[in-house]
Structure 1
């Protein structure tokens, strides 16, 4: 059974005002002091962010428990220096992002300018094990049409600088400012993938291969493919759902490759439209159906995804749990809907942030 690991980025906020706080260095120092040898937290581009990485897991219940444990541990360490954490993919309240002091981040600020300074967005990246680069690239080529559905399920960023954007996942739109971000053409083979990487690096536009911000890529440091299209999810069970569906997509794609089935030939232009529609609509209205790339109700597209990965999920024993969680998510709404509902009830973006901070740790 393929292992799965999750990287989540959390927003550090003031527990009274809800405003983002640039205190990641202090939180990391606090966590390092308490947990030497079991450190799971990392700094990110901006000082208002805190990232954690789970261990590779095969059992989704174990993964869920670890996500909740890491979120609560992040909240505890943040609380000791006067902060809260919130699983929000953008800050609902206005913020002046503070770029970290690391040499890499300073290079990015110098090279990319305002795109770096404004890039306070928080995502959820899922790593799924593959047996080889060849299998990994076969997976990358075959999961492309389905990634927009993961964006719609996870969408959790309706507000930007104190205003409603009319998007469900505005994070994904801001992310597109990076020069290497977004969907990719078909690579065809591991050699084709690595040649594309060499060609991109030869342009001098990117500092290193870590800046290849493809929607899905071969991981640099692990034998995995990394799916990078999801907002950080407000509820931990949504993060588990995205991770489980990601493993189902990877296994389904690998089986198609071994059976000699060619990947869908959708162009990057159309994939960009599918990603935009998912960011705009989330789970309300229509999405583009991954098979024919034509509009369809969100519920129908989610059902198509479940059918597509159904055999793989059944083989790992995850199918019933995924169906139940999807049904609950469609009923409750994704993070974007929850945030808007909170604003409608309270009339206050501060209350949106504080309410989401409570939901983050369950």
Structure 2
């Protein structure tokens, strides 16, 4: 059974006003060995689960880490929220480190404005060759994951019209986005080296592909998703991605070639997913034509059904997906709260409650 682990980025907000607060340094100073991690901006924290073979305990693990972040942040009067962008206006405060100072100088406004929170899923692979074969074959199915996880409709106090505006802001990094078919681990490494040799990137950590080989673990790291408001949606995301990796590895071993879609087509599908979420059409990876979001998402489930069944995850994945499709993603929830209250602060408060639930 392949292991799966989850990294979630959270925004730290004022417990009363909901405004982002630059207090991650203070939180970590009070708890240096807590397992919490600093991020690009001082308004952020990162939590990470341990690798797990069974997804049954993943929900508890995610909730435990969210609760730990809340307990630590409360000591400085802050609350962590699982929002992929801040609904309220914010001028982020860059974390003070040599690495992040370099990024601020090199990327200017892109780095200064980059207060976005993603969910990164790590799935174990047996080798770099298997990992690259997986990367080559999961490319068409990454856009639907953006639609499922969409949780960033607001930016600087305005409704953007997008379900995942984080995906648009994140795309400003020059190394972000979909990638070509590599064909081999050697060609993947050669591409990474060539990108670093341009001098435009500081290190391999800035290879911001939608999915990449982890530089620290024997995993494929899928990076396209918004952080999810609901912990159960994060579990669904991790379950689907593990099955997606397993399905791709089986296709590789069977000699099935990857879908040859070009980067331009993948970028359009990603844009459509960020714009529509689950509330309009997406690009169907089986035909590369428009289709209702629910149809596309159910095609993803069908694509990985065998792997889900073999892992014992099919019933729970079907149940969680049905629940998500019925109530909508985090973006829909945020808009519903704002329509009812007229207050973006109420949106943040609602998310704070759901993050800690």
TM-score range, shorter chain: over 0.9
Distance 1:30 1:245 in 2: 36
SS at match of 1:270: helix
SS at match of 2:320: helix
Match of 1:105 in 2: 100
Q: 2:186 aligns with which of 191, 210, 221?
A: 191
Match of 1:263 in 2: 258
Structure 1 unmatched runs, 5+: none
Structure 1 residue 61: Cα displacement: 2.0
Structure 1 residue 68: Cα displacement: 0.2
SS at match of 1:13: strand
Distance 2:232 2:28 in 1: 25
Work out whether 1:133 is the aligned partner of 2:128. yes
Q: 2:52 aligns with which of 54, 57, 65?
A: 57
Distance 2:321 2:48 in 1: 24
Match of 2:277 in 1: 282
Match of 1:236 in 2: 231
Structure 1 moving runs of 4+ over 6 Å: none
Structure 1 residue 185: Cα displacement: 0.5
Structure 1 residue 31: Cα displacement: 2.6
Work out whether 1:30 is the aligned partner of 2:30. yes
Structure 1 residue 30: Cα displacement: 2.4
Work out whether 1:320 is the aligned partner of 2:315. yes
SS at match of 1:345: helix
Do the aligned partners of 1:130 and 1:136 also contact (CA within 8 Å) in 2?
yes
Distance 1:317 1:23 in 2: 41
Match of 2:244 in 1: 249
Q: 1:177 aligns with which of 172, 176, 180?
A: 172
Work out whether 1:221 is the aligned partner of 2:216. yes
Distance 1:76 1:98 in 2: 22
Distance 2:326 2:285 in 1: 22
Distance 2:288 2:22 in 1: 41
Distance 1:326 1:31 in 2: 36
User: For each residue in 1:126-166, what CA deviation from the matched residue of structure 2 results, as whole angstroms up to 9, or x when unmatched?
Assistant: 00000000000000000000000111000000000000000
Do the aligned partners of 1:40 and 1:54 also contact (CA within 8 Å) in 2?
no
Do the aligned partners of 1:119 and 1:174 also contact (CA within 8 Å) in 2?
yes
Match of 1:151 in 2: 146
Match of 2:162 in 1: 167
Distance 2:233 2:26 in 1: 29
RMSD of aligned Cα (Å): 0.6
